[in-house]
Amino acid sequence: MAKFIQFSWLLLLVTIIACNEPGSITGANGQVEKTESCQSNPHNTYEVYIPELKPTKDKLPLLVIIDANGAGKFALNKFKLAAREYPVILAASNYVKNGVEDYEIGIQELIQDVKQKYPANNTVYLAGFSGGARMAVGYGLAHPVNGMILCGALAKADQIMALKCPVFSISGLDDFNFVETAQFIFNDESAPKNLSIELNNASHSWPDSLLLSNTFGFLYLSSDSEEMNMSSNEKVEAYCKNQLLRIDRLTKQDDLMKAALIARNMALKKPFSNDEIFMKSWAEIKSNPDYNAQLSKIEQGLSFEMSARQPYLEAFTNKDSLWWKNEITSLEKKINSEQDPYTVAMYKRIKGFWGIACYSIGNRTIKLRDVNSLKKIMTVYRMLEPENPYVLYFSAFPAYWKGETGKTEKILKSAINAGFSDWGRLNEDFPRSVTSALN
């Protein structure tokens, strides 16, 4: 029955588009949610979502979402709240992900496909997480884009300025990539004028839906695109009021870093900057001794962290599993016992750096079919992130290389049950004789 209802709605949508102006939306129940394949490249699939809208012939802006692992549905769900609050077509790629060399072509194919099939106007936003953020930047440097949301990774100052569009960075204070954003926090006067920043405590992951909706609202309501001059004064006023409440709440919680960044974003961007209270709030927070003390703690933590990275990289080669067990145990105790939140964030960034190093080294040893090196790094990876599905996925290769098909299938099933979802990679790494048993 559910499939029949979904099919009926798709038929209705086709009928609506066929009977009206090309690309128009009519009908109160015009919601769309489905998986699409690009006509020019069937392997390039994406998840599309259009919220329920009032009858209209206006076309909508497009928000293209790039997840580092190609988890289109997961990433799409993160932005549904934003799409309902600020009408936009969402298109989350399943094809563009880490390791895809033709990602620019893939993103362009997706955008063209959406415009052929759905009522998208010429306003295009990009959102990306981690490697997806880096690919979004790469695409934006060569193609016109109206705004970007970059999560878990950021670009250099000259690249940000070259994008010629608003760039909104969301970084976890405890994210191992935080240093890429921190440089602009310490030197906000020399930061690119098109850069806005917010901090959260999400480590290295997509932010929550509420923050992403708030961030997209910032881009949507401040867009200077001719097609986006539909923003009502009421929505802008409501948005400003909400940001003032956020600043007030964070200030009372002594979370001055986050409060200052929100005030700065609003004070420097029209139409929000028309309300002078944001400039006043930003100046007051910056003059607060506690704010400067927090900045100093973060700077000291980053200095220690960066000086420790190279020795830790060398330790993956010259230290045994017992040394790593003691190091991991010691760090976790510090994370659980430390009272200062900025020191805790530093420890978490170090742990996150260990994790991404294990992932990178593991990938390299798999490409080289270096069984001994893979087993060595997996011992550390398993102690560090036992619930990470890539720990299980990487563990399947030694069995596969030895021809132990049954064992390989069992380990891969465990990885899938633990959350591994990159079927594209799985089909590239293992033959059909193995993957057929996993469906």
At position 91, the amino acid (one-letter code) is A
- Look up residue 136 and give its two tokens: 């979004």
What CATH number did the domain enclosing 400 receive? 1.25.40
* pLDDT, tens digit, 9 for 90 and up, residues 9-19: 333 333 333 33
Per-residue pLDDT at 13: 38
Q: Does the residue 83 lie in any domain?
A: yes
Residue 333 within any structural domain of the chain? yes
> Do 267 and 279 touch, CB atoms closer than 8 A?
yes
Last residue of a domain, one of 214, 231, 248: 231
pLDDT score for 228: 52
- Does residue 63 sit in the same domain as residue 183? yes
pLDDT tens digits along 51-110: 987 766 789 999 999 999 999 999 999 999 999 999 999 999 999 999 898 999 999 999
What's the pTM?
Answer: 0.88
Rounded CA-CA distance 285/292 in Å is 9
Q: What is the pLDDT of residue 324?
A: 98
The pLDDT value given to residue 194: 95
212 and 335 both lie in a single domain:
no
Q: Residue 173 corresponds to which tokens in the numbers above?
A: 């204070």
Contact (CB, 8 A) for 83 and 90: yes
What pLDDT shows up at residue 132?
Answer: 97
30 and 127 share a domain?
Answer: yes
Range of the domain at 175: 2-231
Same domain, 166 and 37: yes
Residues in the chain, overall count: 439
**Torsions phi, psi of 141, nearest 5?**
-70, -20
Torsions phi, psi for 197 (to 5 deg): -135, 140
Averaged pLDDT, 167-174: 96
**Is the domain of 6 the same as that of 119?**
yes
Residue 87: the pLDDT is 93
On whether the CB atoms of residues 82 and 23 are closer than 8 A, the answer is no
Report the number of distinct structural domains present in the chain: 2
Q: Is 115 within the bounds of a domain?
A: yes
Residue 204 sits in the same domain as residue 325: no
Residue 257 lies in a domain: no
Q: Are residues 335 and 200 in the same domain?
A: no
228-236 contacts at long range (C-beta below 8 A, 24 or more positions apart): 228/61, 228/123, 228/146, 230/58, 236/271, 236/272
Mean pLDDT of the chain: 90
Q: Is the pLDDT of residue 1 over 70?
A: no
pLDDT score for 31: 84
Residue 302 lies in a domain: no
Whichever domain contains 179, its CATH number is: 3.40.50.1820
pLDDT at res. 223: 85
Q: Is 148 left (phi over 0), alpha (psi -120 to 50) or beta?
A: beta
**Among candidate residues 215, 231, 247, the one where a domain is terminated:** 231
- pLDDT, residue 215, reads 98
Residue 421 lies in a domain: yes
Residues 194 and 334 in one domain: no
| pLDDT tens digits for range 349-395 | 999 999 999 999 999 999 999 999 999 999 999 999 999 999 999 99
Q: Which of 172, 207, 231 is the last residue of a domain?
A: 231
* Cβ–Cβ under 8 Å, residues 382 and 391: yes
What value does the mean pLDDT take over residues 393-422? 94
Which is it for strands 32-38 and 89-93: parallel, antiparallel or unpaired?
unpaired
Same-domain status, 214 and 341: no
168 and 74 co-located in one domain: yes
Query: Do 56 and 186 have their domain in common?
Result: yes
Mean pLDDT for 302-326 is 96
Q: What is the pLDDT of residue 53?
A: 73
Position 399 pLDDT exceeds 50? yes
3-class SS string, the chain: CHHHHHHHHHHHHHHHHHHCCCCCECCCCCCEEEEEEECCEEEEEEEEEECCCCCECCCEEEEEEECCCCCHHHHHHHHHHHHHHCCCEEEEECCCCCCCCCHHHHHHHHHHHHHHHCCEEEEEEEEEECHHHHHHHHHHCCCCCCEEEEECCCCCHHHHHHCCCCEEEEEECCCCCHHHHHHHHHCHHHCCCCEEEEEECCCCCCCCHHHHHHHHHHHHHCCCCHHHCCCCHHHHHHHHHHHHHHHHHHHHCCCHHHHHHHHHHHHCCCCHHHCCHHHHHHHHHHCCHHHHHHHHHHHHHHHHHHHHHHHHHHHHHHCCHHHHHHHHHHHHHHHHHCCCHHHHHHHHHHHHHHHHHHHHHHHHHHHHCCHHHHHHHHHHHHHHCCCCHHHHHHHHHHHHHCCCHHHHHHHHHHHHHCCCCCHHHHHHHCCHHHHHHHC
State residue 4's pLDDT score: 33
Residues 89 and 203 in one domain: yes
Per residue in 297-311, pLDDT (tens digit) is 999 999 999 999 999
- Adjacent-strand bridge partners of 62: 89, 124
Residue with the larger pLDDT of the pair 201 and 335: 335
Instruction: Dig out the tokens for 375 from the structure.
Output: 């087993």
Contact 152, 133 (CB under 8 A): yes
pLDDT at 18 (0 to 100):
35
